[in-house]
């Protein structure tokens, strides 16, 4: 019964015209929007409407949440469900937006990295976090910065919302729920080999397409790989074809083609 009411409410919501000011937000703040084919632009608009209506946005540290903020976050999160997933982050509790980066202790990998360079930054700050209690918190300036540039491989919303998907089975371990056992086995095989390759490349001092932060653990590797998949899809497909393939099969989209059309 509840799913019927939810479906009915969504149909009524999507029957309304998409607000013109919101379209301006997509055009200004969400660089991926212009890259998408027409049908996926419509899908992004629809998903954005649903996410803004159904998810709870909370301003932290005195920040007043505006429609621009909600639409900017929701549209970027919508990228993860453009492939037809009927999951609108329904199990996410609150999305906290901060006026600046969130202060936090360094991760183990950051300590290793900074110690190797001769210093440890005890005042490191996080751009955002996804918590096991299904809350997400984000630095609004970094949400905006990441959203406007769809090519740099860095997108805070994609990263943190990917963590949420990873944790849907109760464990953030770099293995989001898979459709079949065969896909799960394939995922584990590819992630293990690609994660080991990433560690080896960093230890050897080789430049990597994937953000070095992915070496923290396999959960961070999945989140970093998701950012790269959507933002540098052509390069990922060329340098890490198996990794690109399992992400394509999971998200059911082809970002490499979006970027190829815009080149």
Q: What is the pLDDT of residues 78-137, one digit of tens each?
A: 999 999 878 999 999 899 999 976 554 333 333 333 333 333 333 334 444 555 557 898
- Output b/e per residue, 10-38; b: 16+ Cβ within 10 A: beeeeeeeeeeebbebbeebbbbbebbee
Q: What integer pLDDT is reported at residue 32 of this predicted model? A: 98
For position 101, which CATH number holds?
3.40.390.10
Q: How much of the chain exceeds pLDDT 90, in percent?
A: 76
User: Residue 256 sits in which domain range?
Assistant: 2-262
pLDDT at residue 109, rounded to an integer: 31
Q: Decide which of 130 and 237 is more confident.
A: 237
pLDDT per residue as tens digits for the range 205-233: 999 999 999 999 999 999 999 999 999 99
What is the tally of structural domains in the chain? 1
- Residue-wise pLDDT for 141-154, tens only, equals 999 999 999 999 99
Q: What per-residue confidence (pLDDT) applies to 5?
A: 64
Note the pLDDT of residue 4.
Answer: 63
Q: How many CB atoms lie within 10 A of CB 3?
A: 7
């Amino acid at each position: 019964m509840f799913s019927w009411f939810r479906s009915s409410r969504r149909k009524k919501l999507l029957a309304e015209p998409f607000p013109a000011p919101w379209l301006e937000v997509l055009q200004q703040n969400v660089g991926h929007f212009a890259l998408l084919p027409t049908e996926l632009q419509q899908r992004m608009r629809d998903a954005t409407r649903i996410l803004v209506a159904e998810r709870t946005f909370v301003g932290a540290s005195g920040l007043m949440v505006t429609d621009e903020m909600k639409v900017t976050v929701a549209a970027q999160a919508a990228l993860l469900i453009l492939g037809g997933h009927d999951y609108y982050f329904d199990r996410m509790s609150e999305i906290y937006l901060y006026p600046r980066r969130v202060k936090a202790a360094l991760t183990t990998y950051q300590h290793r990295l900074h110690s190797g360079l001769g210093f440890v930054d005890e005042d490191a700050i996080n751009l955002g976090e996804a918590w096991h209690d299904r809350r997400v918190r984000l630095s609004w300036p970094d949400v905006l910065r990441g959203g406007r540039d769809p090519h740099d491989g860095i997108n805070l919303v994609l990263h943190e919302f990917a963590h949420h998907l990873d944790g849907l089975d109760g464990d953030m371990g770099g293995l989001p729920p898979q459709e079949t056992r065969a896909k799960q086995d394939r995922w584990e095989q590819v992630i293990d080999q690609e994660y080991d390759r990433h560690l080896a490349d960093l230890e050897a001092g080789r430049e990597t397409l994937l953000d070095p932060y992915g070496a923290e653990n396999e959960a961070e590797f999945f989140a970093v790989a998701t950012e790269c998949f959507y933002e540098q899809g052509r390069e990922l497909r060329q340098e890490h074809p198996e990794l690109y393939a399992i992400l394509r099969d999971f998200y059911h989209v082809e970002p490499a083609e979006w970027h190829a059309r815009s080149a």
